[in-house]
Structure 1
């Protein structure tokens, strides 16, 4: 990772909150010839000070088979990002850059039995679909669930290492930071707006 102390968020609660807000994460591991990856929604849990990631994937895919052979995985949570012009700095005689927020979680993946898989699927469904809509998990036909559960497998990742980059122009003077925020807001796109808002929360 592109890590510097001034780009690192030290508050673990803020890092976990970012992960929850950007839970459609990329899980990568080692395949036989090339790295493998899958991007899926995750449930982020904190239990006794430890972070766990839960979800489910299709059985017998390249990533499922690879994760079974090597249970060490890297999970990437990515957030807003945008170009920042050096012309916005008090001293523009340096290179332009890119501001962004990302979290890398490393850990070991373990697969669940059928009961655990069912709970993992229900948890994700309840979180996003709710429990009262027509598409709620508890309203699905038993025949459909029985068929589905044979094709997927739930998993749990115990996070052993958590790294982050909250690159928000912390290395620039306050006047430059304020001007960057103003210029990003002028753009009008969501990515620039979210970075501007993240920068504003860090102004003294």
Structure 2
């Protein structure tokens, strides 16, 4: 994606933390000559050689997997918070804009075996159930229920390129205090989270 240099984030550890917190992404490849996208959890992990990878799954009923090709790249998009920025908050006349955080990852995809897919699904469910009042585990489910795993395709994506845009009013330092005040006065979650990220980036 196009990222002006002052919005580009190249802090790998910060980006990894973002991916851990915003792992519900969009997987994009080409299917029959047109872009195809699926919204799905894409979990950051490492392979046996220590390379950073994403691990995910989609339904076999989804034709996207039939175009999975280890020789071609896929794109994964992860969206963070975003908020409208009114130029009425600026000291000088300017057009309004939008602050946001987004990460694009390019890589090559490898389809997992059924056994590998099941291992990933155990970890995925355990991760998101751990804070539940009554957590479930795939370990406790019947073989009949777990046969549903035959209806999904698991995969890993070897991360080959990361593009991270953190647009947080970096070019408006003279207006930061006013922008923060206005964002914090808004009730929507996007404005609150963008304000939080702006404060942290300046600390």
TM-score by length of 2: 0.92
Q: Deviations over 1:87-136 (max 9, x none)?
A: 11121x11110000000000011001111011111111111023994521
Secondary structure of 1:37 counterpart: strand
Q: Distance in 2 between matches of 1:49 and 1:70?
A: 21
Q: Deviations over 1:16-66 (max 9, x none)?
A: 111111000000001113211111112211466632000211114221112
Corresponding position of 1:111 = 111
Corresponding position of 2:12 = 12
Instruction: Check conservation: 2:70, 2:108, Cα contact below 8 A.
Output: no
Q: Distance in 2 between matches of 1:49 and 1:5?
A: 29
Q: Distance in 2 between matches of 1:23 and 1:155?
A: 15
Corresponding position of 2:130 = 130
Corresponding position of 1:45 = 45
Number of residue equivalences: 201
Secondary structure of 1:39 counterpart: strand
Unaligned runs of 5+ in 1: none
Instruction: Check conservation: 1:131, 1:137, Cα contact below 8 A.
Output: no
Secondary structure of 2:201 counterpart: coil
Secondary structure of 2:170 counterpart: coil
Instruction: Check conservation: 2:27, 2:39, Cα contact below 8 A.
Output: yes
Corresponding position of 1:142 = 143
Compare 132-141 and 19-28 and name the one that shifted more: 132-141
Corresponding position of 2:200 = 201
Corresponding position of 1:190 = 189
Instruction: Check conservation: 1:82, 1:98, Cα contact below 8 A.
Output: yes
1:151 pairs with 2:155? no
